[in-house]
A and B are shown apart, each in its own frame.
Chain A
Amino acid sequence: MKTVQFREALREAMSEEMRRDQRVFLMGEEVAEYNGAYKVSQGMLDEFGPKRVIDTPIAELGFAGIGVGASMNGLRPIVEFMTWNFAILAADQIINSAAKMLQMSGGQYGCPIVFRGGNGTAGQLAATHSQSFESFYAHVPGLKVITPSTPYDAKGLLKAAIRDNDPVVFLESEKMYGDKGEIPEGEYIIPIGVADVKRKGKDVTIVSFGKIIKVAHEAAEALAKEGIELEIIDLRTVRPIDYATVVESVKKTNRCVVVEESWPLASISSEIAYHLQRYAFDHLDAPVLRVTQTDTPFAFSPTLIDEALPNVDRIVKAVKSVLYR
């Protein structure tokens, strides 16, 4: 094993796949000469040259569409968005084109493409620069949506995404790029659509994913001191969702709290809660609760940020509530 930063894990995944498959290339704003706005692609221009590591103008809709077309015609693009907020401009090509192409062409044209970049809040960046898109893209049939929380998962899942023959939305975080974690020396791949039990516990199941799962870990530490043991399930993929792992855990704990960085309405937490009441009804000893961002756009001031985001206190409160304590 070796210790790497999240950004290095992503870089290794891309570089290994580019060495292995000439059809894979990386395209996006500042990815080449600037070495990436967040240094994910550092050194990749030097290794692969400007044919395969390509700087684009600020034209998200255009280069996403170019990526989709290239993927229909035999290439396997990795399209980096500086952040997913800016990919809203490209959502037309992701949702209307990439996600639908295989079906509309009756199976003739698929889109083996990965769209990736920073997702979610990243400090005081205000409303337009702080959005989480898990449920937004998970809503769309035809896409696969990955949201890793550790360098290990990031590398293994990104490699799977690049090899996957369907369009994949890969959600990272500016705030995680510097996180360190262990990964194997050699090659490994993590299958898409498989959740991971990040912490074992018997009292309450926490379902979470992406950066905010760190807060769930902190809450678990705090609650452990009171003798409450959380089981933390990292979904890792939010389309498809590994419902079975969640249900298995709830059969054991009989209680569940979902922790999500984004807004409550039509969210991944609504989906999990629906699924549990439908398929694990008899195993539940309490309503499924969720801790999400407040039902408001993200604001600039630090006091408003504190108010908006899930935090340890809110999770502890929800956990105690499902335990009726």
Chain B
Amino acid sequence: MAVKTSKKPTAATKKSKVDSTSKFSKETYIKWWKDMLLIRKFEEKTGQLYIQQKFGGFCHLYIGQEAIVAGTASACKPGDKHMTAYRDHAHPIALGTDPRVLMAELYGRTTGCSKGKGGSMHFFDKKVNFMGGHGIVGAQIAMGAGVAFAEKYNETGNVAFVSMGDGAVRQGALHETFNMAMMWKLPVVFIIENNNYAMGTSVERTTNVTDLSKIGLSYEMPSRIVNGMSPEAVHEAIEEAADRARRGDGPTLLDIRTYRYKGHSMSDPQKYRTKQEVEEWMDQDPIVHCLEVIKENKWMTDKEIKEVEDWVKKEVEESVEFAENSPYPEGKELYEDIYQEPNYPYIVEY
């Protein structure tokens, strides 16, 4: 097959230098680093377990994109709501979900965050306002605006954050939603997790407007391009967008440029991109960057760093243990959680 070499994607800024005048605190950096490391290790383990066929289904890893959820989590407020697509393992971790229940969900166990009924693509955790995990590309765009509609209706001051891939922006419902969200000034932030590929298709092979931040222009939706390898940049952009939403000024579109180091799912030969391209992005790794800042500022001793790394390792190991020791749902649970009505008359035959 002739592989068309695509133009190299570029991050919005080059590898961020350690900035000692950063407005972010020691605590913020340490939290970013810790959360992103936990996500990274959780995902690495997930990939290994998937290859060992410990669980089935599709498996889309977030490795490389961690700065987006880290920067969003640090910039949002407790009542805010979050929704994303099927690449959903990282969002609940960043929001504080116990990785044990996520691993259990991957294993299809009753202790999973969706009782083993949703699997990898359908994580949900109401406790941290994580509203899924949606497998149909683009479905969450309109639903996310609807979540914002309810917040506005109830005058809560909360914001809805809706993530979608660069491929998802091609769904027509985006335009219908953007129009209504602007017209009704809904408190929603649309986040494009722009990793430049939808499966094997690069952004430039699906559009003549490769600058996705422009996709809201005909609705005059405020938008900006954000460096998705930088938790600082993400945090600032999310904060600004959330402030706009809370002021009653409506939605924002963020085209957050990022990269997935791994394939689309676990069965992707990745012939559509070069190794060099992957490496260029890995050079800007946000986890490495945060640790550099921490070390440069002497915010943690080597011992403390080691302690966090050990803690992360243990969290992941214990997640696997928890999952493997949890029971599978019994057959009769198939009939639970389908209707709120307790006595729904199902057809039951052979």
Q: A residues engaging B (CB < 8 A)?
A: 29-30, 33-35, 37, 43, 45-46, 55-62, 85-86, 88-89, 123-129, 264-265, 289-292, 294-297, 299-304, 306-308, 314-315, 317-318, 321
Contacts and interface: CB of A to CB of B under 8 A. Distances in A.
Interface of B: 1-4, 55-58, 108-109, 114, 116-119, 121-122, 134-138, 167-168, 170-172, 198-201, 205-207, 272, 328-335, 338, 346-350
Nearest to A60: B171
A37 B138 CA distance: 19
B118 A58 contact: no
Contact of A303 (B1, B4, B137, B328): B328
Nearest to A300: B119
Nearest to A302: B108
A313 to B, nearest CB: 9
A312 B200 CA distance: 39
B331 A291 contact: no
A126 B347 contact: no
A291 B2 contact: no
B338 A59 contact: no
Contacts of A85: 136
A46 B172 contact: no
Contact of B108 (A35, A58, A86, A301): A301
Q: Considering residues B109, B138, B331, B347, which has the most beta carbons from chain A within 10 angstroms of its beta carbon?
A: B347
Nearest to B4: A33
A278 B206 CA distance: 52
Nearest to B105: A300
Closest 9 CB pairs of A and B: A300-B119, A301-B108, A57-B170, A307-B331, A124-B57, A34-B200, A57-B206, A124-B56, A301-B116
Contact of B116 (A56, A290, A304, A317): A304
Contacts of B334: 294, 296, 299, 304, 307-308
29 contacts: A29-B201, A33-B4, A33-B201, A33-B205, A37-B199, A43-B1, A55-B201, A55-B206, A57-B167, A57-B206, A58-B206, A59-B171, A124-B57, A124-B119, A125-B58, A129-B58, A289-B350, A295-B347, A296-B335, A299-B329, A300-B119, A301-B116, A301-B329, A303-B108, A303-B328, A303-B329, A303-B330, A307-B334, A318-B350
A62 B168 CA distance: 13
Contacts of A128: 134-136
A49 B181 CA distance: 41
Contacts of A300: 57, 108, 114, 116-119, 122
Given A299-B334, A301-B108, A317-B350, A58 B171 contact: yes
A292 B332 CA distance: 16
A255 to B, nearest CB: 14
A304 B138 contact: no
Given A86-B136, A303-B329, A126 B201 contact: no
A292 B349 contact: yes
B170 A124 contact: no
Given A33-B3, A125-B57, A294-B348, 14 more contacts: A29-B199, A57-B207, A58-B171, A88-B136, A124-B119, A125-B58, A127-B122, A291-B350, A295-B347, A296-B346, A297-B338, A300-B108, A301-B329, A303-B330
Contacts of B108: 124, 300-304
Contacts of B171: 58-61, 89
Contacts of B347: 264-265, 295
A304 B168 CA distance: 30
Contacts of A57: 167, 170, 198, 201, 206-207
Given A57-B206, A292-B349, A321-B350, A302 B328 contact: yes
Contacts of A62: 172
A314 B334 CA distance: 17
Nearest to B2: A46
Contacts of A45: 1-2
B346 A35 contact: no
A38 B2 CA distance: 18
A273 to B, nearest CB: 11
Contact of A304 (B55, B135, B170, B331): B331
Given A62-B172, A124-B55, A297-B338, A304 B349 contact: no
A135 B109 CA distance: 32
Contact of A58 (B57, B167, B348): B167
Contacts of B57: 123-126, 300
Contacts of B170: 57-59
B54 to A, nearest CB: 11
Q: Considering residues A125, A126, A264, A308, which has the most beta carbons from chain B within 10 angstroms of its beta carbon?
A: A126
B119 A33 contact: no
Q: Considering residues A46, A56, A129, A317, which has the most beta carbons from chain B within 10 angstroms of its beta carbon?
A: A129
Contacts of A321: 350
A265 B3 CA distance: 47
Contacts of B2: 45-46
Contacts of A265: 347
A126 B206 contact: no
A146 B315 CA distance: 50
Contacts of A303: 108, 328-331
A34 B331 contact: no
Contacts of B348: 294-295
Contacts of A307: 331-332, 334
B350 A126 contact: no
A295 B345 CA distance: 10
Contacts of B109: 301
A302 B58 CA distance: 14
A18 to B, nearest CB: 18
Given A58-B168, A128-B136, A301-B117, A33 B1 contact: yes
Contacts of A29: 199, 201
A35 B349 CA distance: 42
A265 B344 CA distance: 14
A206 B231 CA distance: 60
B118 A126 contact: yes
